Homo-oligomer: A and B are copies of this chain.
Amino acid sequence: MNRADSFGGSCPVPLGDQPCIKLAHGGGGRLMQQLIEEVFIAAFDNAVLRGGHDGAILDLQNGRTVVTTDSFVVRPLFFPGGDIGTLAINGTVNDLAMCGAKPLFLTSSFILEEGLEIETLWRVVQSMRKAADAAGVLIVTGDTKVVERGHGDGIYINTTGIGCVDHSLFVSPPRIATGDTILVSGDIGRHGMAVMGTREGLAFTTQIESDCAPLWSTVEALLEAGLEIHCLRDATRGGLCSVLNELAQDASLQFDVVENDVPVMPNVRGACEVLGLDVLQVACEGRFVAILPKNESVLALEILKAQNEFAAMIGHVSSAQAGLVTLQTPIGSQRILDMPAGELLPRIC
């Protein structure tokens, strides 16, 4: 109680010059990071929370249990390659997989808007069931709330996942080491562009399907090959750019990435160019970054390619400058790849 009492009644951190919540506070970029650090972590501070990875490893009986939570507010609810239901399952399952945990159980909680068609909800719930089956998880409990017409967007979903770690690796940022290779599990940017294209009614993006998919089987294949995985992180909000910056910061190491080696589909690249978006900042929902020792990177790539032919090695880790991410551009120059502010693509998950 001492700690709680010491907070007092007023907000000590006005988040710089931000008196109000902006869309960017949910955008996976710097502002969200600031909000989490200065408001939530400051208030909830404890050792498990400070672990700071995608999920919390709990000291339950024997074995390591991992729990992770995510709310989904994607707009529109349906997009090429998935819907909010697919996303709500895969997003949380993937957060568990990124901790090296086999996904076991999910909770699901709905905030529904008055006036939502039951048919729409039904379709979403079917997608959830199919995605849960495909990912091998059980949805074990849930909750439903309804808000008045105009106070929601049809459906918001929270899923919380529980998984178990049955190997001895601690897959987490502090394990990243100088000389490690950085790989990506497939072509990037499809999810964000699929949602964006549907939302804005952009004809030239209609062939772009979301990459939304469960990632545990790929992670399991890497683990079963006996690879010493140092870190995994799915490239969701803020895209590859956010993930690389987060991990470089958490590991206090420098990441050097070669832009030409980052796999991007031509239609995704074209759509990004037309819209003036940096594809490195566009969210995926079925792609992850894997970081492991250089001498294991060829085998790792082989395993990743068996699942997705566009998997690639995109860079390596050095000790030059803690927290820095550099990008070698196609013309050979090197630039700093900074953390995105988060305003780019709201409501994509």
- A interface vs B, CB < 8 Å? 1, 3-5, 7, 9-11, 13-15, 18-27, 32, 35-36, 39-40, 43-44, 46, 48-49, 54-56, 58, 60-63, 65, 67-73, 104-105, 107-119, 121-123, 125-126, 128-130, 132-134, 138-148, 150-153, 156, 158, 160, 162, 164, 346-347, 349
Q: Is A43 a contact of B128 with CB atoms below 8 Å? A: yes
Q: Is B68 a contact of A141 with CB atoms below 8 Å? A: yes
- Once A21-B112, A56-B107, A71-B109 are accepted as A-B contacts, the answer to whether A44 and B128 lie under 8 Å apart by CB is yes
**Chain B residues positioned under 8 Å from A60 (CB to CB):** 60-61, 63, 65, 104, 162, 164
A sample of 8 inter-chain contacts (CB < 8 A) reads A7-B126, A21-B146, A40-B142, A55-B141, A60-B61, A60-B63, A67-B105, A147-B153
CA distance A60 to B63 in the complex (A): 9
CA distance A70 to B160 in the complex (A): 11
Give the shortest distance, in Å, between A214 (CB) and chain B (any CB): 13
**Chain B residues positioned under 8 Å from A39 (CB to CB):** 118, 121-122, 125
Of the residues B73, B122, B145, B156, contact of A26 by C-beta under 8 Å: B145
- Once A118-B11, A143-B70 are accepted as A-B contacts, the answer to whether A148 and B109 lie under 8 Å apart by CB is no
**Chain B residues positioned under 8 Å from A61 (CB to CB):** 60-63, 65, 164
Give the shortest distance, in Å, between A125 (CB) and chain B (any CB): 5
**Chain B residues positioned under 8 Å from A54 (CB to CB):** 141
Q: Is B112 a contact of A70 with CB atoms below 8 Å? A: no
Q: Is B56 a contact of A140 with CB atoms below 8 Å? A: yes
Of the residues B55, B158, B164, contact of A71 by C-beta under 8 Å: B158
Q: Is B144 a contact of A44 with CB atoms below 8 Å? A: no
Q: Is A69 a contact of B36 with CB atoms below 8 Å? A: no
Q: Is B148 a contact of A23 with CB atoms below 8 Å? A: yes
Q: Is A62 a contact of B65 with CB atoms below 8 Å? A: no
- Once A58-B105, A61-B62, A141-B49 are accepted as A-B contacts, the answer to whether A21 and B115 lie under 8 Å apart by CB is yes
CA distance A346 to B133 in the complex (A): 34
Q: Is B23 a contact of A346 with CB atoms below 8 Å? A: no
State the oligomeric state as a number of copies.
2
CA distance A250 to B266 in the complex (A): 57
Of the residues B44, B49, B130, B164, contact of A1 by C-beta under 8 Å: B130
CA distance A99 to B49 in the complex (A): 25
Q: Is A133 a contact of B4 with CB atoms below 8 Å? A: yes
CA distance A222 to B126 in the complex (A): 42
A105 — nearest CB in chain B belongs to which residue? Answer: B58
CA distance A63 to B60 in the complex (A): 9
**Chain B residues positioned under 8 Å from A156 (CB to CB):** 71, 111, 145, 147, 156
Q: Is A48 a contact of B133 with CB atoms below 8 Å? A: no
Inter-chain pairs besides A56-B107, A145-B349, 12 sampled, C-beta below 8 Å: A1-B134, A23-B114, A26-B112, A36-B142, A36-B144, A44-B128, A61-B62, A61-B164, A69-B160, A70-B143, A71-B109, A158-B158
**Chain B residues positioned under 8 Å from A18 (CB to CB):** 118
**Chain B residues positioned under 8 Å from A48 (CB to CB):** 105, 138, 140-141
CA distance A349 to B145 in the complex (A): 9
